[in-house]
Chain A
Amino acid sequence: MKMTLNALEDGTRAVIAEMPPGECAQRLEALGLYPGKTIRKISGMPFKGPVTILLDQRQIAIGHGIASRLIVEVEEGEPREGDRA
């Protein structure tokens, strides 16, 4: 099932499906985030705050606007509390 990173539930693992358009894609890619990567969402902050994800054992914070244009794919029946991705 595809959804935005914002919509992803906390603690869930997902695979990056589509990068946001524009120059942010490049900045995210520099941090090692690209389509096909598995991540785990740690938390999203209220009031349109950033989303923090775990990527290769490292936390990355992504602003709300970018996270709303970053599409991830979740497999059905994915365990909620996985190991550190």
Chain B
Amino acid sequence: MPSCDGRCTSCEGCLSRLPSLPDGREDCPKRILLTGNPNVGKSAFFSRLTGVHAISSNYPGTTVGFMEGTLRAGKTCYRLVDVPGAYTLEPTNEAEEIARKMIEEGGDKVIIVLDATALERNLVLALQVLERGIPSIVALNMVDEARHRGVLVDPAALQIELGVPVVPTVAVTGQGIRELVAKLDEATVSPLAGVPREERWQRIGEIVGRVQKVVHRHHTWRDRLEDASVHRFWGALIGIAVLGVSYRVVRQIGEGLINLVLDPFFESAVRPVLMKISDLLGPGSLLHTLLIGTLFDGRIDFELSFGMISTGLYVEFVMVLPYIVAFYAVLSFLEDSGYLPRLAVLFDALLHRLGIHGYAVIPTLLGLGCNVPGILATRVLESRRERFIAATLISVAIPCAALQAMVVGVLGNLGLRYVFLVYGSLFLSWLILGRALHKMLPGFSPELIVEIPPYRLPSAEAFAMKLWFRIRGFLLEATPLVLGGILVANLLTTTGTIGFLSRLFAPLFNVVLGLPASAAGAILLGILRKDVAVGMLVPLGLSASQLVVATVTLAMTFPCIATFVVLWKELGATDTLKSLGIMLITALAAGGILNAAFSFFS
């Protein structure tokens, strides 16, 4: 669950849409705004300067909310704010609106981060910020990459042009950071006056002409790969290869961790401890039922016993965690490499027909890890209509990694075709629902306009940090919910509430979905966590086809509580209710059709 109090500790879940900055703290009242175009290295700077981890990825739009941390420069303490990336202060999207608002509210100083490889475009924002009269300093970032590309920018000349200190930097390695901090005191108000819009490019052109030299350079393999990746034929081929390899790697890492590391560890180290606890509590006692659950032939069955510290720990650490690690390892690599915006180009034609444009693949991919960051990332989309469609599609038809891990773990044993049936049904529902929403909702969706960053080799350090923070985020957020979910499930069962609810929903489940009443309880508890819910389906002795119907319905119905909270925050009450209605209808329709198809073919 995002715990958002304005200062983010761990998660992407915290990029909350706070309307204005928190009030100055007494011990550290000074505020520095870190601003610049999207994808120029602001978050990398932020992490280096404050020690607070900010997710930084190689595509525009990673930081849509803002983050704050403290920075000590000599004796002075500053609060550093990572402002969302903006190309201009005449806002063209929500991130830019937030950025403008924050610059207008002002700060004691501004650090303007420029991408030395794209100076002209970067200077638009720089000039707009400089004319506001806030003491400023410029970090001329990515000088390493500029050198490789044959773009030589003279920092001293730029300093004369802009009238504020300019420090060349490489945010990912930390080069120039110390000089930047040392020069913070020298930040000054630029003497440059505002430039009228019509003269802007000419003025910038003059500045660029005086400070930048471009030396001739031959095509490199990277240029060729970048061009091929968006080519109609080669691009599709590369896309298939990337997705195919990603899938294999996730499966390989996930299964490897389960079969070689975690399952053996649980069998050899955790089982004996649990058995001791079981003996101590005595089977049959309430505490035993809650903690250990049911014994089978005097033994704990990790999948069936359903106690908090038996099945609960097993589900979270053995069945789900390995796939979380595997998924985020691959995703983080893809993010940092710069491939994802290219995927947006490949998918644009398809997504455009679902009322969202290609860039929505990024929230969708994030949603395959966890719906929460996925829905938050829909903010990169420009219009409310697109955000509604994208967020609804994610919460209905995009299964999170925890749910997928359980589906693979439970259905995989019965035959891979059942796993594919689940994925196929979800994908089809995604397409149909997207198309239907696009046709039915009023208005139109804006088209794709996006800058595609160069390919970069992810830095090992940044990659490791990011992966660690994501795994930590999962453990912190999921553990209480998984263990709590099992506790609640057991309490509801022992008090008879589940039985009551099951009987209430039995007709619906029997007739429409072909499921026994007992499955109703599991699916209802999906509200807490969907992985636990799949765990609850296991002991019910359903047939394979019933399990397929149940997991598809479970995946598509009511979102888990964390997803529900962000949906509410992002869409507001009315649209969330709309979204929930759509969800219930689609889930029942999909489950019902699947059930009908199964009975027809059997």
Contact = CB atoms under 8 A, between A and B. Distances in A.
A48 B352 contact: yes
B26 to A, nearest CB: 39
A56 B121 contact: yes
Contacts of A34: 201
Nearest to B216: A83
Nearest to B350: A47
Interface string B146-187: 000101000000000000000000000000000000000000
A49 B345 contact: yes
A60 B450 CA distance: 6
A66 interface: yes
A58 B93 CA distance: 21
A73 B382 CA distance: 30
Given A45-B235, A61-B344, A84-B223, A52 B449 contact: no
B535 interface: no
Contacts of A83: 216, 219
A32 B118 contact: yes
A59 B232 contact: no
B448 interface: yes
A24 B449 contact: yes
A46 B88 CA distance: 32
Nearest to B231: A43
Interface string A10-35: 00000000000001101110111010
A62 interface: yes
B540 to A, nearest CB: 44
Given A31-B451, A32-B121, A45-B235, A61 B92 contact: no
B269 to A, nearest CB: 51
Contacts of B232: 43-46, 49
A68 B560 CA distance: 42
Contacts of A52: 230, 345, 452
Given A27-B92, A43-B227, A59-B226, A32 B120 contact: yes
Interface string B77-103: 000000000011010110000000000
Interface in B197-220: 201, 216-217, 219
Given A46-B232, A47-B349, A48-B349, A66 B447 contact: yes
A61 B346 CA distance: 10
B302 to A, nearest CB: 48
Contacts of A26: 90, 92
B61 interface: no
Given A42-B227, A61-B341, A56 B452 contact: no
B129 interface: no
Interface string B227-243: 10011100100000000
B124 interface: yes
Interface in B405-457: 446-452, 454
B117 interface: yes
Interface string B99-138: 0000000000000000001101100100000000000000
A43 B229 CA distance: 10
Interface in A42-85: 42-50, 52, 56-66, 83-84
B349 A61 contact: no
A25 to B, nearest CB: 10
B358 interface: yes
A66 B358 CA distance: 14
A62 B449 contact: yes
B348 interface: yes
Contacts of A62: 447-449
Contacts of A31: 87, 121, 449, 451
A60 B451 contact: yes
B233 to A, nearest CB: 9
Contacts of B452: 52, 58-61
12 contacts: A31-B121, A32-B118, A43-B235, A47-B350, A49-B348, A50-B348, A52-B230, A59-B451, A60-B449, A63-B449, A84-B217, A84-B219
Interface of A: 23-24, 26-28, 30-32, 34, 42-50, 52, 56-66, 83-84
**List of 3 A-B pairs having minimum Cβ-Cβ separation, nearest first:** A63-B447, A32-B121, A30-B87
Given A60-B449, A83-B219, 17 more contacts: A30-B88, A32-B118, A32-B120, A46-B232, A49-B349, A50-B348, A52-B452, A56-B120, A57-B118, A58-B117, A59-B451, A60-B451, A61-B341, A61-B344, A61-B358, A61-B448, A65-B447
